[in-house]
Amino acid sequence: MYLLEEAKIAVVPGSAFWIPSAVRFAYTDSMERLEEGMERFRNAMEKLQ
């Protein structure tokens, strides 16, 4: 929920793919949008520190 609310990024729990310690990202859009999403992810993770 943090990533969705803070960074507007949706992830799927790894447990849905038998990897409970991970999350899954879908990145089927353009490279530009992928880079933007990863920047939002980085910024959200920095706020947790």
**Whole-structure pTM value:** 0.77
Gap between the Cα atoms of 3 and 1, Å rounded: 6
With the C-alpha atoms ordered 12, 14, 15, 16, is the resulting torsion angle positive or negative? positive
Band (38; pLDDT cuts 50, 70, 90): very high
Mean pLDDT computed over 37-41: 93
Q: What backbone phi and psi angles, to 5 degrees, belong to 47?
A: -65, -25
**Using one digit for the tens of pLDDT, what is the confidence trace for 5-35?**
999 999 999 998 899 999 888 777 899 998 9
Q: What is the pLDDT of residue 35?
A: 92
